[in-house]
Amino acid sequence: MMRQYELVDRVRKYNPNANEDLLNRAYVYAMRAHGAQTRASGDPYFTHPLEVAAILTEMKLDDATIVAAVLHDTIEDTAATRAEIDEIFGPEIGALVDGLTKLKRLDLVSKKAEQAENFRKLLLAIAEDVRVLLVKLADRLHNMRTLHFVNPDKRARIAQETLDIYAPLAGRMGMQLMRDELENLAFKNLNPEAFALVSTRLADLRNDNSELIGAIEAELAEELRKRGINAEVRGRQKQPYSVWAKMERKSVAFEQLSDIFGFRVVVDRVEDCYAVIGIVHTKWPSVPGRFKDYISTPKQNDYRSIHTTVVGPGRQRVELQVRTHDMHDIARNGIAAHALYKDGVAPALSQESSAYQWLKRTIDMLADGDSPEEFLEHTRLELFHDQVFCFTPKGRLIALPRGATPIDFAYAVHTSVGNSAVGVKINGRLAPLLAPLANGDEVEIIRAETQTPPAAWESIAVTGKARAAIRRASREAVRAQYAGLGRQIVLRAFERAGKPFGDDKLKLALPRLARSNIEDVLAAVGRGEMFSGDVVKAVHPDFKEERKTAAGRRPDPGWFKMQKAAGMQFKAPGSTGHALPIRGLRGDLPVSFAPDGGAVPGDRIVGILTPGEGVTIYPIQASALEGFDDQPERWLDVRWDMEGAPELFPAKVVVAGINEPGSLGAIASLIGETGANIDDVQFNKISPDFREMIFELQVFDLKHLTDILSRLRALPMVHRVERVIG
């Protein structure tokens, strides 16, 4: 276990002005707080926070972060309190420890919905101070280093979570050293046989090629020295997990990989980077399409280097990365490198780095109302994808995941640009909105302000931001349609009641309707979640519907309720069963269902009045209702009243399937097993191999019908199943 003086010495090596008293107090406080607690390995628990602090000293982080690492488990696992931490160590450290305590309580090793919600909380917690993330990643790294002491089931879950969330998150923060070790430790625990095999092959390859690697390093270093460039040339080898992932992704054998070895050239100045490229490309032929300049266009995680591949000594393909020492620090430690002590002075941890900006943009998505599962899906997409870099016509750089389309580009520029996109020009030429973008493309989005994004775009978009915005726009469009229908229903209700209506009056009644705005009220009425009569009463509390039914009297119909199927009569809410007359008619009003498809309980329904004939009931989505749009006086608000014995209701279903013996019998048997009746069946021959069957059924309700459709779709001979609504 690391001693007290060793912790102080570690910090003072890079920060001679370290607060030794603060570090000593944290060491003693945490040691006493954890007392006799032990870990799964049997070691004293206090060794864990000390090792986390040691990992952070390797990143040369500030005193507050080191102290927070030492204390990070005290509030959660001991009798220590936030108030006590604030009093002894100050509010800055108290806030860091409190943020880490909240993360400690998250159980990301859980089923998907819980994991997704907890991931949202994780990002929200680290948004206030990114140092919380650095301590959390160091905490996860030490836990992974000691994972072999945990039972196998829990070990696999933790390793998978590390591979899914923590390693990619470290990569997005530019912390490549951290990411590599987390990935390899997770790989070792999830697939020990594959890890051992790849590691052995890599070790054998390194031994077999050690002389060649040394020769290339020496020749390249000498060539640069002769040109007056001070450079460090180092050979490097891919990590086991990265090799395995590429083998899996490209379905290739180990022997087919040509980029296991590469070389890194580290120089003093940015101009030296380009000079090295000039020298290398002059001496050895370059491989076309293998040059990438991440210095002029850095990655979103702040990574900067120039990549190239040449046919070098011995006709070997040689991959080169060229960067400065500062770029090398950022490539290894990412966002933590912004807090590196240089000459005993620590700059402020940059809140404006590209990596941190990505984190803030990701957190901004939380406010858009997506479900936790959607958020986790979108964030994983952005964590894992490589990038392409495109430009707006004004030269703004837009970084996108590989495979992104102009749709993703439009939403990356601004949500309003994506929502109004109707076309695109790529490099000055008209192109499809579905065309994949390539590095260096100039993209000009063609817009139309009246455009609404098609819902199908969601399955095409690659970025989480685009998918979330498309889904949100689709929801808003549907809500606007329901609000329009609701307004018509409410207007007719006020007309029947003989009461004035206005948005200003409805706004005053919002508290009584438990809605925050007028659109919510109208949409609720349109969806059938709120009764239009309740809106009238909320606006005019003194209004009372008359329910007189004596002969010759004509009551307001209001909101009718349906009770029976064939030949049923409307009933007033709370009535005793007698028929309710309709304004302008005498006696009971006959009711029938729409001739093509009917309606079942669970459908949102409306009634169409035909004088002298009665009322026909339609599902709200029936296309036949369009024929009555210009006759609002014939529309009646109705709803189901299913009290009493269950009844069967008409529904029509079309089934397209393979034309083979026994198919009709299998379909009919399945329908019979569900408890539904078949009134009629018609056949349409689509082709010699396929036929279409139209079933007229009797079902109990929408749930019953949905179950039948679902079970029919599962039959092997069935190609398509749809409900018919006239």
User: 314-367, pLDDT tens digit by residue?
Assistant: 677 788 999 999 999 888 888 777 654 444 444 444 445 666 666 666 666 544
The answer as to whether 176 is a domain residue is yes
pLDDT higher for 564 or 148? 148
**Given a cut of 70, is residue 108 above it in pLDDT?**
no
Last residue of a domain, one of 317, 339, 361: 339
Mean pLDDT lowest among 223-232, 310-319, 422-431, 636-645: 636-645
Q: How confident is the model at residue 612 (pLDDT cuts 50, 70, 90)?
A: low
* Cα Dmax for the chain: 113
Q: Which of the two residues, 692 and 312, has the higher pLDDT score?
A: 692
Q: Can you tell me the mean pLDDT for 642-670?
A: 79
Rounded to whole angstroms, how far apart are CA atoms 651 and 699?
7
Catalytic residue among 77, 84, 534, 692: 77
Per-residue pLDDT averaged across 285-311, rounded?
Answer: 87
- Considering the domain architecture, whether residues 574 and 628 belong to the same structural domain is answered as yes
Arithmetic mean of pLDDT, 27-48: 89
Q: What is the dihedral of CA 419, 425, 431, 436, to 10 degrees?
A: -70
Q: Give yes or no: residues 682 and 621 share one domain.
A: no
Taking the CA of residue 666 as centre, how many other CA atoms within 13 Å lie in the half-sphere pointing to its CB? 16
pLDDT higher than 80, residue 259: no
The torsion of the CA quartet 701, 705, 708, 714, rounded to 10 degrees, works out to -140
In the predicted model, is pLDDT for residue 98 greater than 60? yes
What is the four-CA torsion angle of 260, 261, 265, 270, rounded to 10 degrees? Answer: -20
- The pLDDT value recorded for residue 567 is 31
Average pLDDT of span 417-430: 91
Q: What is the pLDDT of residue 573?
A: 32
List beta partners, residue 607.
Answer: 617, 636
Say yes or no: 158 and 279 in one domain.
no
Q: Mean pLDDT of all residues in the chain?
A: 79
Instruction: Give per-residue pLDDT as tens, 127-183.
Output: 667 788 889 899 999 999 999 898 888 888 889 888 877 888 888 788 889 999 999
The owner of tokens 């973008």 is 437
What pLDDT was estimated at residue 421?
92
pLDDT at 477: 81
Q: Are residues 606 and 658 in the same domain?
A: no
Q: 39 or 686: whose pLDDT is higher?
A: 39
Cα Rg of the chain (Å, integer): 35
Asked whether the predicted pLDDT for residue 25 surpasses 90, the reply is yes
Contact (Cβ atoms closer than 8 angstroms) between residue 599 and residue 565: no
For 613, counting Cβ atoms within 10 Å of its Cβ (0-12 exposed, 13-18 middle, 19+ buried), the class is exposed
Q: How far apart are CA 431 and CA 425, in angstroms?
A: 6
**% pLDDT > 70, the chain:** 81
Catalytically annotated residue among 9, 20, 43, 76? 76
Give pLDDT tens digits for 523-542: 888 776 788 888 888 888 87
Mean pLDDT throughout 256-279? 88
Q: Is residue 441 part of a domain?
A: no
Domain that holds residue 583: 560-640
More confident residue, 300 or 722: 722
The pLDDT of residue 645 = 45
265 pLDDT above the threshold of 90: yes
Closest CA to 698 of 597, 615, 622: 597
Of the two residues 622 and 659, the one the predictor is more confident about is 622
pLDDT greater than 80 at residue 186:
yes
How far apart are the C-alpha atoms of 583 and 587, rounded to whole Å?
Answer: 10
Distance (Å, whole) CA 272 – CA 259: 25
Domain end, chosen from 171, 195, 219, is at 195
Together in a domain, 28 and 172: yes
- The answer, yes or no, to whether residue 189 has pLDDT greater than 50, is yes
Is residue 185 domain-shared with residue 201, that is, in the same domain? no
Q: What span, in angstroms and rounded, lies between the C-alpha atoms of 96 and 85? A: 10
Specify the pLDDT at position 122.
Answer: 62
Instruction: Look at residue 375 in the predicted model and tell me its pLDDT.
Output: 57
pLDDT at 188: 94
Q: What is the model's pLDDT at position 369?
A: 47
For residue 46 the two structure tokens come to 């206090």
165 and 94 within one domain: yes
76 is annotated as an active-site residue: yes
Is a pLDDT exceeding 50 seen at residue 521?
yes
User: Closest by alpha carbon to 477, among 491, 457, 462?
Assistant: 457
List C-alpha distances in Å: 211 to 186, 207, 215, 217, 235.
32, 8, 6, 10, 11
Q: CA–CA distance from 355 to each of 301, 385, 704 (Å)?
A: 4, 15, 51
Domains identified in the chain, total number: 5
Spatial separation of the C-alpha atoms in residues 426 and 62, rounded to whole Å: 47
Better-predicted residue by pLDDT, 455 or 559: 455
Q: Among 339, 357, 373, where does a domain finish? A: 339
What percentage of residues in the chain have a pLDDT greater than 90?
22
**pLDDT in the model for residue 124:** 65
Higher pLDDT, 124 or 133: 133
Paired with 387 in beta bridges are 401
d(CA 183, CA 248): 15
**Amino acid sitting at position 456:** A
Decide if 688 is inside a domain. Answer: yes
pLDDT, position 353 = 64
148 and 86 in a common domain: yes
80 with 23, same domain?
yes
Comparison of pLDDT for 705 and 481, the residue scoring more? 705
- How many residues are present in the chain? 726
Instruction: Tell me what the mean pLDDT of segment 569-577 comes to.
Output: 34
Measured CA angle at 616 (ends 613, 618), to 5 deg: 165
Summarize pLDDT for 211-223 with one digit per residue, the tens. Answer: 888 888 888 888 8
Per-residue pLDDT, averaged over 87-114, amounts to 71
Work out the average pLDDT over 238-265.
Answer: 82
Q: Which pLDDT score, from 0 to 100, does residue 20 have?
A: 92
Residue 115's pLDDT is what? 53
d(CA 490, CA 506): 11
* CATH code, 191: 1.10.3210.10
Residue 362 belongs to some domain of the structure: no
Tokens 């007290």 label which residue? 4
The reply to whether 119 and 130 lie within a common domain is: yes
pLDDT at res. 54: 94
Please say if the pLDDT value at position 4 is more than 60.
Answer: yes
Question: Rounded to 5 degrees, what angle do the CA atoms 642, 648, 650 make?
Answer: 110
547 domain residue, yes or no: no
**Residue 386 within any structural domain of the chain:** no
Q: Kindly state whether residue 309 falls inside one of the protein's structural domains.
A: yes
- CATH number of the structural domain spanning residue 684: 3.30.70.260
Q: Are residues 52 and 73 in the same domain?
A: yes
Same structural domain for residues 201 and 181?
no
Does the pLDDT value for residue 517 go beyond 80?
yes
pLDDT of residue 31: 92
Would residue 161 show up in a list of annotated catalytic residues for this protein? Answer: no
Question: For residue 424, is it within any domain?
Answer: no
Quick check: 550 pLDDT over 50? no
76-90, 485-499, 606-620, 638-652: lowest mean pLDDT where? 638-652
pLDDT score of 71: 93
